[in-house]
Chain A
């Protein structure tokens, strides 16, 4: 019976690489090869490329909003269009860019870093990607639905997202898109966890795992416990909207606050789901460029675990002003979460301390990451105090805070990872000079965009308004922010050029351009199918470093034969 391209099976054993005959390729190359692929590297590339396109879309929305806000009055957008834009901007960046970019990079590099031939469930992996793509397309294409996209904010608070508040199909499409994307995330989380637990190379004990892998395990744990409630919450929302439910409708005994509990139960861990992968990447990069081991490996892992635990008990700090939650409890928990985050800063500083730091582009992005994220962390401690939150909640102060965390932090971590691993993924070298220019543009643009927003918030500019009065003194700060966003946009365009130029220039990168520590640098660039033909012995969290410093008697061991 002909099962098409689906019927081919390769039996992979712990012997690496897989036995002959070599894995079969899909019958025809080109697009069918990508549609049917179950190779974790191809799926990883699909993820990274797709999420980057979503990032460009979300960035374009941000640019439109900033242009609108440059002057008081409405110039380029209607209020309704503005509301749709910030709703979908937030949704895109959270659900379709930052979190899945972390999962995409993990897809590519977790198997490589642990010396595995692929993810544990390759076909589930492919399914995750296609569900994610479907979810993303549903959300972005909802702009063309009748009545436009959802304009209820990325949090979709009931009753504004209810049948009276938002009658059109925009919110329904938003719900369905988010449901697809979250189903995809759960599958990837299971996949990553099983991979990291069961497909490690011999000798790669849990306490020798690269910290990116550890953080992906912990991220997966958070995904597993935080996504089901949002799936339930959004399903209940859909039932309330169309099937006559009254879960959240106070007129019939429902509770408006219940929706917020369900949403933020997911929403706060999601913040850490969006930052832990990049903590991991940064913690893999800094030691390599400092020529030192990471300082305080165990402390770092325990700090990540503490963040995961605490992140599940701080959700209602988004609800301080509702008057319906126990503020001191959530305030205390939110304060405590600053401690493990602070530990990470000291891990990074301790790693750099006394090192020989080489400032190539990946390290520059890490430095920018630390500088930006620190400010986001400090303002995070401020907003964890309910009285201060009463003042700045839902103002631009909070907008500045979470952009320092998610753009200044995660986005810079993403760039660090892309610059670090681009040679491994493509085999080509990026231009260092262009890369440094991209860094300067994005760093300056980012800080111009968002630093002034702290002041705007303190002066009382609330979030989610398309227009503001001319006589309250907000105009100049808004203009600086718009200028910063334009500079950042130029930086992102230059990054695209940087990548395209590398493909055209075809400068070979070599297997190990950075003198890396982890196993992905022991294979070719790009790695072959099923990843490895050879592995060094694994005796610490930096097997390649040990291998370069090896004693004479500790010979290489051919995996094959």
Chain B
């Protein structure tokens, strides 16, 4: 994970440098604020990774790692099939169409989406 941390840190400090130069040269606010956030967002991820990665040793990063290593380590549950993503997207698109065509559609879409999200969560637990 060291490489990932470095990548995020690089983009954070790159934006800090560019943003500082940009602000000093232009005093233009929109771009400076955007660059500020492009400093903060990757910095946040880099800090998180820095804290996490200290305890994390991945067989992936072992240059001598063999394909069989790490077998049996649980990396999470993969759902073979799920209808809920489709329903969630259906609800979301109805909801945004509701913003164009009327509140009733947004309400229907929101309900569908909420139901789908509940479905997704129950699926994860079960």
Indicate if A touches B (C-beta under 8 A): yes
Task: Tell me the A residues contacting B by CB distance below 8 Å.
Answer: 1, 3-16, 18, 23-26, 33, 35-39, 115, 117-118, 120, 122-127, 129-131, 133-135, 137-138, 169, 172-173, 176, 179-180, 183, 197-207, 217, 221, 224-225, 229, 238, 242, 255, 257-258, 261-262, 265, 305, 308-309, 312-313, 315-316, 325-326, 329, 333, 530, 535-538, 557-559
Is B111 interfacial (CB 8 A cutoff)?
no
Of the residues A134, A176, A333, A535, contact of B89 by C-beta under 8 Å = A134
Q: Which B residues touch A180, using CB under 8 A?
A: 92-93, 96
Find the B residue at minimum CB distance from A243.
B99
The reply to whether B25 and A329 contact each other, CB–CB distance below 8 Å, is yes
Of the residues B26, B64, B96, B119, contact of A329 by C-beta under 8 Å = B26
User: Whole-angstrom distance from the CB of A269 to the nearest CB of chain B?
Assistant: 10
Q: Which A residues touch B97, using CB under 8 A?
A: 138, 173, 176
B 80-98 to A, binary, CB cutoff 8 A, 1 in contact else 0 = 1111111011101100110
The reply to whether A176 and B31 contact each other, CB–CB distance below 8 Å, is no
Instruction: Kindly name the residue among B22, B26, B86 whose own CB sees the greatest number of chain A CB atoms within 10 A.
Output: B86
B 48-89 to A, binary, CB cutoff 8 A, 1 in contact else 0 = 000000000011111111111111111111111111111011
The reply to whether A203 and B86 contact each other, CB–CB distance below 8 Å, is no
Q: A206-B4, A309-B10 are in contact. Are A37 and B66 (CB under 8 A)?
A: no
Find the A residue at minimum CB distance from B84.
A6
Of the residues B62, B67, B68, B89, contact of A130 by C-beta under 8 Å = B89
Is B41 interfacial (CB 8 A cutoff)?
yes
The reply to whether B31 and A557 contact each other, CB–CB distance below 8 Å, is no
User: Whole-angstrom distance from the CB of B14 to the nearest CB of chain A?
Assistant: 4
User: Whole-angstrom distance from the CB of B26 to the nearest CB of chain A?
Assistant: 4
Of the residues B31, B64, B66, B85, contact of A316 by C-beta under 8 Å = B31
Find the A residue at minimum CB distance from B98.
A176
**What's the Cα separation between A258 and B28 when bound, in Å?**
10
Q: Which of B6-64 contact A (CB under 8 A)?
A: 7-8, 10-11, 14-15, 18, 21-22, 25-26, 28, 30-31, 34-35, 38, 41-42, 58-64
Of the residues A9, A117, A207, contact of B79 by C-beta under 8 Å = A9
Q: Which A residues touch B63, using CB under 8 A?
A: 203, 205
15 A-B pairs, CB-CB below 8 angstroms?
A9-B80, A12-B77, A38-B85, A123-B85, A126-B82, A127-B89, A138-B93, A197-B4, A198-B58, A202-B66, A203-B65, A221-B8, A255-B30, A261-B31, A309-B18
Q: Which B residues touch A12, using CB under 8 A?
A: 75-78
The reply to whether B122 and A538 contact each other, CB–CB distance below 8 Å, is no
Task: Tell me the B residues contacting A by CB distance below 8 Å.
Answer: 1, 3-4, 7-8, 10-11, 14-15, 18, 21-22, 25-26, 28, 30-31, 34-35, 38, 41-42, 58-86, 88-90, 92-93, 96-97, 99-101, 119-120, 122-123, 126
User: Whole-angstrom distance from the CB of B120 to the nearest CB of chain A?
Assistant: 7
User: Whole-angstrom distance from the CB of A2 to the nearest CB of chain B?
Assistant: 11
User: Whole-angstrom distance from the CB of A413 to the nearest CB of chain B?
Assistant: 23
User: Whole-angstrom distance from the CB of A158 to the nearest CB of chain B?
Assistant: 14
User: Whole-angstrom distance from the CB of B73 to the nearest CB of chain A?
Assistant: 4
Find the B residue at minimum CB distance from A193.
B4
User: Whole-angstrom distance from the CB of B102 to the nearest CB of chain A?
Assistant: 11
Find the B residue at minimum CB distance from A4.
B83
Q: Which B residues touch A138, using CB under 8 A?
A: 93, 96-97
User: Whole-angstrom distance from the CB of B100 to the nearest CB of chain A?
Assistant: 4
The reply to whether B66 and A557 contact each other, CB–CB distance below 8 Å, is yes
**What's the Cα separation between A203 and B61 when bound, in Å?**
6
**What's the Cα separation between A204 and B11 when bound, in Å?**
24
Known pairs A7-B123, A202-B69, A238-B99; list 14 more (Cβ under 8 Å): A4-B83, A6-B83, A11-B74, A12-B76, A12-B78, A37-B81, A134-B93, A135-B93, A173-B97, A206-B4, A229-B34, A305-B7, A329-B26, A538-B65
What 10 A-B pairs have minimum CB-CB distances, sorted nearest first? A130-B89, A202-B65, A134-B93, A126-B85, A203-B65, A200-B60, A127-B85, A15-B71, A202-B59, A206-B3
The reply to whether B77 and A10 contact each other, CB–CB distance below 8 Å, is yes
The reply to whether A35 and B86 contact each other, CB–CB distance below 8 Å, is yes
Q: Which B residues touch A257, using CB under 8 A?
A: 30
Q: Which B residues touch A4, using CB under 8 A?
A: 83
**What's the Cα separation between A288 and B70 when bound, in Å?**
30
User: Whole-angstrom distance from the CB of A185 to the nearest CB of chain B?
Assistant: 14
Find the B residue at minimum CB distance from A183.
B92
**What's the Cα separation between A558 and B65 when bound, in Å?**
14
Q: A127-B88, A133-B89, A203-B60 are in contact. Are A262 and B30 (CB under 8 A)?
A: yes
Find the B residue at minimum CB distance from A543.
B67
**What's the Cα separation between A122 and B81 when bound, in Å?**
9
Of the residues B35, B61, B93, B126, contact of A7 by C-beta under 8 Å = B126
Of the residues A18, A203, A224, contact of B62 by C-beta under 8 Å = A203
Instruction: Kindly name the residue among B28, B73, B82, B99 whose own CB sees the greatest number of chain A CB atoms within 10 A.
Output: B82
The reply to whether A312 and B18 contact each other, CB–CB distance below 8 Å, is yes
The reply to whether A305 and B10 contact each other, CB–CB distance below 8 Å, is yes
The reply to whether A123 and B31 contact each other, CB–CB distance below 8 Å, is no
The reply to whether A197 and B88 contact each other, CB–CB distance below 8 Å, is no
Q: A169-B100, A206-B3 are in contact. Are A6 and B65 (CB under 8 A)?
A: no
Of the residues A6, A18, A173, A305, contact of B123 by C-beta under 8 Å = A6
